[in-house]
Structure 1
Amino acid sequence: MTTDTEETLLEFPCQFPLKVMGRHGDDFEAAVLTIVRKHVTNLGEGAVRARDSGKDKFTSLTITFEAQSKAQVDALYRELHAHELVLMLL
């Protein structure tokens, strides 16, 4: 178990589900996965689940990975949040 200097309720490493939402289209999923792979080197098979909205206007991706630190998760959130195709992060 490792802890960061900042307070967090998580204990690292841990399984971390990240949900990213954007408009439906081929570029969205590819852009998100490019960013995630920069921060997560051990993204396993089956780690990504995609779901389209009822009218296929939006796509949500749930990416579950083993987070190593709060700094890793924070950096990933910052980069995804800054991307123009990402509408919401959970």
Structure 2
Amino acid sequence: MKTKLEKMLKFPCSFTYKVIGLAQPELVDKIVKVIQLRLPGDYAPNIKSSNKGNYLSISITVFAKNFSEIEILYHELSKINLVRMVL
């Protein structure tokens, strides 16, 4: 059964992940590295810091050919030890 998200998307398409994690210098590099392994390309993440500076919110847009790529990246990004949430 298709999910609502899968039904809404028309492939190929751009898809933006929002990753929230601990404010560590290597967080952005780890996120880009995971994405590069699955979908090579040039990525320009948008980075915002939380009010207290403990967390970073990283928005990064990929170009996916199918829903499987979106699902796999979601799970791979969730495995990064500094990541707390992937939206």
Is the structural similarity TM-score above 0.5?
A: yes
- Deviations 1:38-74, CA, capped at 9 Å, x for gaps: 1222334xx3101111111100100012111111111
Percent same amino acid among aligned pairs? Answer: 28
Measured on the aligned residues, the alpha-carbon RMSD in Å equals: 1.4
TM-score (norm 1): 0.83
Structure-1 separation of matches of 2:62 and 2:73: 12
**Residue type of the alignment partner of 1:13:** P
**Corresponding residue for residue 87 of structure 1:** 84
**Corresponding residue for residue 3 of structure 1:** none
Runs of 5+ consecutive residues of structure 1 not aligned to the other structure: 1-5
Over 6 Å off, 4+ runs: none
TM-score (norm 2): 0.85
**Corresponding residue for residue 48 of structure 1:** 45
Structure-2 separation of matches of 1:68 and 1:12: 6
